[in-house]
Amino acid sequence: MPIRQLAPDVAAKIAAGEVVERPASVVKELVENALDAGARHIRVELANGGLGLIRVSDDGCGIPSEELPLAFARHATSKVQALGDFERLATLGFRGEALASIAAVAGVTLLSRPRAATLGAQMAVVEGEAGSLAPAGAPAGTTVTVRDLFASVPGRLKFLKTRGTETGRCVQLVEQYALAFPEVRFTVVSEGRQVFTTPGDGKLASVLVAVYGLAVAEHMVPLDGTDDTAAAQPEPEHAPAAVASASATRPQVSGYVSRPSCYKSTRGYLSFFVNRRWVQSRTLNFAVEEAYHSLLLTGRHPIAVINVALDPAQLDANVHPAKTEVRFLYERQVFAAVQRAVRAAVLATAEAPEVSSRAFAIPDWSSPAVPASGDGGDVPRASAGDASLWGRTPPGTEGQPGEAAGADAPVAGSDAGGFAVPGAADAPVGGRKLPVMRVLGQVSQSYIITEGPDGVYMVDQHAAHERVLLERMIAEWRSRAVSSQLLLQPVPVELAPAERETIEEHLDALAQIGFAIEPFGGDALLVRALPAVLAAQTRPQPLRELLLELAGGDAEAASHGETWEEHALANVACKAAIKAGQTLSPEEQRELIRQLEGASAYQSCCHGRPTMVHLSLSALERQFDRR
C-alpha cells in the first residue's frame, strides 16, 4: 500500500484510542476537568456501563459560551500556554485533547454557564461533527453528556468487559478521585441508582469510610502530617484548584495506611496521588510494601491512600497517554519520604499484634514475668520489636562478641547439649531462651511438632532454620570470623556489564560475609569461595541471582536501618535454610530444635514470620471441655 494521509475523521478516532480506552477513561477525563474547574460537587451518571450514557455535572467555574467550540478543539486548553508552564503545573489536564478525543468516538453535549453569566450555552459534537452553539438555561457550572460511546468503533467494543465490570471501573475511578479530594462532594448514579457518595467535608477519613467501609476505615492510621481536622479548603477564587500546596522542595507525604492487623490479599488497595493526580507507580507501591517489611506475611498487602505533594518542577506529568504515570526528578527522595512516613505510622500502631487472630499464640518466654507454667498462650506478643531482625537487644546492652556469652546462662533446665549457638551472644541481658522441647515428629514435611513445658509447639522448619543460621552468621560476622567454604571447582558467573559493576562495587562487603570473587574475563566473575552455609549451592544460575540480590540490596537494607552486611546475611540465611517440603530424619528434627533452643530471637524468622505456634495445656483443656 502506498503511504497516504489518513482522512481526518479516521485519524481522530485513532488518536482518541490513546486517551479513551473504555468508559472509565471518559469518566476520568471529565472528572479531572470538573476538578480543574474548582467544582465542589461532582455528579456522575452512568447507563449501560457508561456505553449508553456518561454524564458529569459540576458546579465549577463554567465555560464562557464563546469558548465552547474551542473546548472541543484538539490542543485547545485554558490550562497551559507555554512549555514553561509545566514547571508550575497546577491542573490535572494540560493537553487540551480530552474533549476532542471523546467527541471523536461518541456524541458529546456540553452545557455550561460561568457563575457570572446570566445565561448559559450548549453545543453538541457527534462523532467529530460540530453542531451549532445555542443559548441555554443552566445552573452555574458545566454538564458534559456523552452518549453511545464507541458506537462507531466496534473494534473497541469487543475489548470491553461486561456492563457490570465497566460500571465498576467507572465507580472505582471516582472513588480514587474522591480519596484525593475529600473537600469535594462526589455522587455516582448508575442505572438510576446512587452507588457511591461522599460528604465533601474535607476529611479523608470520611471518604475512607465511603470507599472501604467502616470496618476497614477503623483500621487506618493517618500519616504524620495528615491534618484531617482542617475544615474543607476555602472556596477557590478561580479555577484551577486541583493541586495541594507543594511549595516545599521536599516531598510532603500525607494520607492513611492500614494497621498490620488489617490487610488484603492483593495489591489493589494502594492508591497514590502526586499533587492529587491519581497515578500508578511501581516506586510508590514498593515504598509502601517495604515499609511493612516483616510486619505483614508474604501474600498479604496493606491498604494505603497516599498523596505526595511536591514542587511541580520536580515532576514530569506528561509521560503517559492517560496521564496515569509521572516521572520524578528525585525518585529516591520520594521513595524514601513515602517509605519513612509509612513505616513511622505503622510502627506506631504495632502494639496491635499481627497474630491476634491466630488460633494459637506465639510463645514468648522472654519476659521473666510470665511463669513457664502459666497460660501465657492467651497473650500473643509478636510486636514489631519482637519481629526485629536482630532480636531484642536493647541499644547499649550489646556486648563485644563472645564476651556476653558466659553472662548469658541458659535458663535452668535448659540443656543445650553442646549445641550452643554462637548467636547466644546476642541475647539480651536477663533474656530467656526457648526451653528444652521434646520432638514428637514432622507434619506435612514442613512442621516439627514438639512438646515443651506448657503444651505443644509447632515449629516451621524453614523459618526456624533461617533464624538459627542467621544468628550464627551474625555472631561470626561480628567477630570477623565468617566461615567460608573454598570451592574445589570455582564457579564462573556470566553477567551483563551493569550487573558486573554492581557486584564489583560490593566485592569487599561480599568478602566480609564469606564470598571470594574475582574477575574472570569479559563480564564474567569467578566465585572461589562461599559462605559455608551455602557450600552445597554452587549452581551458577541461582548463585548469579543471589549475588545480584545481595549486591543490589543497599537501598532495602538502609530502609530497614540495617547495614548492608546484616541485610545480606539474612538473605543468605534464607537461601541456605531447610525448605518446607523437605523430609527430616528424627535426628535432624531434634538437631534443628536444639539449635533453635539456643537462638535468642527464636520467635520469628528474619522476615518476621513466626517460627512457631503454641497450643498451651490450658487451651487444650478448654478445647476438650475439661474446664
| 3-class state of residue 121 by DSSP | strand
Shortest approach of ligand ADP to residue 63 CB, angstroms? 5
Nearest CB to ligand ADP, comparing residues 115 and 250: 115
Q: If binding is defined by CB under 5 A, does position 20 make contact with Mg ion? A: no
Residue nearest to Mg ion (CB): 93
Joined together, the cell numbers standing for residue 481 give 570470623
- Calculate the alpha carbon distances from 176 to 21, 25, 59, 206, 384 in Å: 18, 13, 20, 13, 31
Q: If binding is defined by CB under 5 A, does position 98 make contact with Mg ion? A: yes
Nearest CB to ligand ADP, comparing residues 80 and 350: 80
Q: Name the one range near Mg ion by CB under 5 A: 96-104, 110-118, 495-503, 520-528.
A: 96-104
> Which of 27, 51, 71, 284 is close enough to bind ligand ADP by CB under 6 A?
71
> Which of 63, 257, 534, 543 is close enough to bind ligand ADP by CB under 6 A?
63
24: partner contacted, choices Mg ion, ligand ADP, none (Cβ within 5-8 A by kind): none
Q: Name the one range near ligand ADP by CB under 6 A: 7-15, 90-98, 427-435, 526-534.
A: 90-98
Residue of 381, 366, 400, 379 lying closest to 599 (CA atoms): 366
Measure CA of the first residue to CA of the last residue in the chain; give whole Å.
88
Asked if residue 611 lies in contact with residue 467, where contact means CB atoms within 8 angstroms, the answer is: yes
Q: If binding is defined by CB under 6 A, does position 78 make contact with ligand ADP? A: yes
94: partner contacted, choices ligand ADP, Mg ion, none (Cβ within 5-8 A by kind): ligand ADP
Q: If binding is defined by CB under 6 A, does position 592 make contact with ligand ADP? A: no
Shortest approach of Mg ion to residue 36 CB, angstroms? 7
DSSP 399-419: PPTTHHHHHSPPPTT---TT-
Question: 260: cis peptide before it, omega within 30°?
Answer: no
The vertex-58 CA angle with 52 and 63, nearest 5°, equals 100
Q: Which of residues 296-325 bind Mg ion (CB under 5 A)?
A: none
Beta strand spans in 90-226 (E): 107-113, 120-126, 129-130, 134-136, 141-147, 185-190, 193-197, 220-222
97: partner contacted, choices ligand ADP, Mg ion, none (Cβ within 5-8 A by kind): ligand ADP
Q: If binding is defined by CB under 6 A, does position 484 make contact with ligand ADP? A: no
Q: Which of residues 29-58 bind ligand ADP (CB under 6 A)?
A: 29, 33-34, 37, 58
Do strands 455-460 and 612-615 pair parallel, antiparallel, or not at all (unpaired)?
antiparallel
Q: If binding is defined by CB under 6 A, does position 142 make contact with ligand ADP? A: yes
Q: If binding is defined by CB under 6 A, does position 339 make contact with ligand ADP? A: no
Q: Name the one range near Mg ion by CB under 5 A: 50-58, 91-99, 221-229, 325-333.
A: 91-99
Distance, in Å, from the CA atom of 574 to the CA atom of 466, rounded to the nearest integer, reads: 5
- What is the DSSP code (8-state) at residue 289? H
Asked if residue 148 lies in contact with residue 52, where contact means CB atoms within 8 angstroms, the answer is: yes
Q: If binding is defined by CB under 5 A, does position 93 make contact with Mg ion? A: yes
Residue of 196, 201, 205 lying closest to 183 (CA atoms): 201
Distance, in Å, from the CA atom of 282 to the CA atom of 293, rounded to the nearest integer, reads: 16
SS3 of 463-476: the string is: HHHHHHHHHHHHHH
Residue of 380, 334, 330 lying closest to 353 (CA atoms): 380
Nearest CB to ligand ADP, comparing residues 101 and 167: 101
Distance, in Å, from the CA atom of 472 to the CA atom of 49, rounded to the nearest integer, reads: 60
> Which of 20, 98, 310, 601 is close enough to bind ligand ADP by CB under 6 A?
98
Nearest CB to Mg ion, comparing residues 33 and 294: 33
Nearest CB to ligand ADP, comparing residues 108 and 253: 108
Q: If binding is defined by CB under 6 A, does position 94 make contact with ligand ADP? A: yes
Bridge partners, residue 361, by sequence: 614
Q: If binding is defined by CB under 6 A, does position 258 make contact with ligand ADP? A: no
Shortest approach of Mg ion to residue 71 CB, angstroms? 9
Shortest approach of ligand ADP to residue 84 CB, angstroms? 17
Shortest approach of Mg ion to residue 99 CB, angstroms? 7
Beta strand spans in 232-367 (E): 252-258, 270-274, 277-279, 304-309, 315-316, 327-328
Residue 550: CB atoms within 10 Å? 25
Residue nearest to ligand ADP (CB): 93
Q: If binding is defined by CB under 6 A, does position 61 make contact with ligand ADP? A: yes
> Which of 16, 27, 33, 384 is close enough to bind Mg ion by CB under 5 A?
33
Asked if residue 619 lies in contact with residue 464, where contact means CB atoms within 8 angstroms, the answer is: no
Shortest approach of ligand ADP to residue 85 CB, angstroms? 12
Nearest CB to ligand ADP, comparing residues 72 and 263: 72
For binding to Mg ion (CB under 5 A), which residues are involved? 33, 93, 98
For binding to ligand ADP (CB under 6 A), which residues are involved? 29, 33-34, 37, 58, 60-63, 71, 77-79, 93-100, 142
